[in-house]
Amino acid sequence: MTRILKVAAAQLGPIHLAEGRAQVVERLIAMLHQADASGCRLVVFPELALTTFFPRYWMEDPAEIDAFFETAMPNPATQPLFDAAARLGIGFYLGYAELTEENGTPRHFNTSILVDGAGAIIGKYRKVHLPGHAHRIPDVAFQHLEKRYFEVGDLGFPVWRAFGGVMGMCICNDRRWPETFRVMALQGAEMVVLGYNTPTTNIHHDEPLHLRMFHHRLCMQAAAYQNGMWVVGSAKAGKEDGHGLYGGSCIVAPTGEIVAQAMTEGDEVVTYTCDLDLGNYIKEVIFNFAAHRRIEHYGLITEQTGVVPPEDA
């Protein structure tokens, strides 16, 4: 029996600083309806989908920083999204900034959740590969302060049985790291969904936009093929108060092919009918992990982070 899941990458256009949660949630609900009308059962929203991409701003006042975070999910601002999803019987992935408290200590994470067609949260992921820096870089057009505003995620890379298959999540920069997908593939992930906010310019290096888009696609296409899985990536795109984020939301098949992609940098619903069994032939032969992986030679991957070249002769 073929397992079919029609999925939507719901790309968001810009969210300006002045835009409130209620306006954003209305946009998310409009895309939820559009995806439902075309038969989708799962909608993938971007990373930090409820606010502007605030890590670009240097902030010192904890209250100002915490205003970008959600202390509960759902909450009064996002409840209408959960209600709409439950009414339609459609699930979603949502990225947001999570502020929680453990033993009296506030903890900040860049988080995503997986919500089922009944509006229940069935999975949570906290971003592991935080890019950027914790200090203020002088004389640049914007900062990338994820290392200042978030802690490294502490939940690992779990997967969930949902939507007729095995689902995994990651967030933005995680998609550039092969370990992200392999750890989920080793748990049987058949589809990994992710949201991203990627600036159109690199503050550290003069890099043309076409190359940035190439790297985005390269990582997701390679991950899909090397793990025989579907990968769905959803952008927050366009100019947020003058700061550009690229689009390029897409759905990648286990063959590594992009089968659907966004044409704009605005709110756009990109859909595809995915056969969750399509990756089986890849996982049974070329990437049959049980038959071919040679873990006795992979130790360095978990033993060290940085590069240790051989000593000079």
Which residues here bind ligand CDV, judged by CB under 6 A? 47, 131-132, 144, 172-173, 176, 196-198
Q: Which of 40, 172, 219, 250 is catalytic?
A: 172
In angstroms, the CA 231 to CA 246 distance is 18
- Decide: helix, strand or coil at residue 64: helix
Residue whose C-alpha is closest to residue 254's, from 232, 282, 273 = 282
Q: Is position 124 annotated as part of the catalytic site?
A: no
Which residue among the candidates 40, 70, 98, 127 is catalytic per the annotation?
127
CA dist 104 and 34 (Å) reads: 42
Question: Closer to ligand CDV at the Cβ: 242 or 299?
Answer: 242
Specify the pairing of strand 105-115 against strand 121-126.
antiparallel
Phi, psi angle pair for 136, to nearest 5°: -85, 125
- Cβ-based nearer residue to ligand CDV, 94 or 172: 172
CB of 125 to ligand CDV, least distance (A): 14
Q: Between residues 117 and 131, which has the closer beta carbon with respect to ligand CDV?
A: 131
127 included as an active-site residue:
yes
Between 6 and 212, CB nearer to ligand CDV: 212
Beta-bridged to residue 109, according to DSSP, are: 98
Buried b / exposed e over 162-173, threshold 16 CB at 10 Å, is bbebbbbbbbbb
**Active-site residue (options: 40, 47, 70, 170):** 47
Q: Is 170 a catalytic residue?
A: no
Comparing CA positions, the residue from 245, 240, 243 lying closest to residue 209 is: 245
Q: How far is the CB of 210 from ligand CDV (least distance, A)?
A: 15
CB of 219 to ligand CDV, least distance (A): 9
CB of 220 vs ligand CDV, minimal distance in Å: 11
Active site residues: 47, 127, 172
